[in-house]
Amino acid sequence: MCLSFPRAVLNFFRRVVSSTGEDIKVAIQNAQAAFESGVWSKASVIHRSQVLSNLARALERRTPEFAQMESLQTGRTIRELNAQLGRIPEWLYVRLCRTLCPRYTLIPATIMQHFFEQ
C-alpha cells in the first residue's frame, strides 16, 4: 500500500524546544516576581485594559495565520479553526468590559464601543 501525504506534512514548519522542570520553575518564579514588582498588578485598570485590548486586536489580525499553522499540524479545516480561534479576542473583550464595569450586568454601549473602535 502506498500512502500519499500533502507536501506540508513532510516538512517542518516550526521547531519547538522542550522545557524541563527547571525551566518551568524559573518561569513561574519570574512571573511571580513580575507580579510582586507591581508592574502589572498595581497598574491602573485602564492601563491593563488597554494592554489586553491591544492583545485582542493583535490576535484578531493574526487569526488566519494561526488557523493555517494549526490546520497543518492537526489536519482540521482552516474554516473550523478560524471560527474557533476567532472567539479568543471576543472573550478578551468581554473580560475587559467586566473589569472596567464590574457592577454592571449589562455592559454599557459606550464601553463596548471603545473596544471596537480603532
- Per-residue model confidence as pLDDT tens digits over 18-51: 889 999 999 999 988 988 898 887 888 788 878 8
Residue 57 lies in a domain: yes
- What length does the chain have? 118
Residue 23 lies in a domain: no
Q: Which H or E run includes 82?
A: helix 78-85
CB 83 within 8 Å of CB 105 = no
User: Range of 79's domain?
Assistant: 47-118
User: What phi and psi values does residue 97 have, to the nearest 5 degrees?
Assistant: -65, -40
If you average pLDDT over every residue of the chain, what do you get?
77
Q: Cα–Cα distance between 95 and 40 in angstroms, integer?
A: 16
Q: Does pTM top 0.75 for this prediction?
A: no
Q: In the block, which residue shows the cell 500533502? A: 6
Using CB atoms within 10 Å of the CB of residue 30, give its burial: 0 to 12 exposed, 13 to 18 middle, 19+ buried: exposed
Residue 114 lies in a domain: yes
Q: Count of domains in the chain?
A: 1
Residue 30 lies in a domain: no
Residue 3 lies in a domain: no
Residue 4 lies in a domain: no
The residue-averaged pLDDT of 54-69 equals: 89
Residue 104 lies in a domain: yes
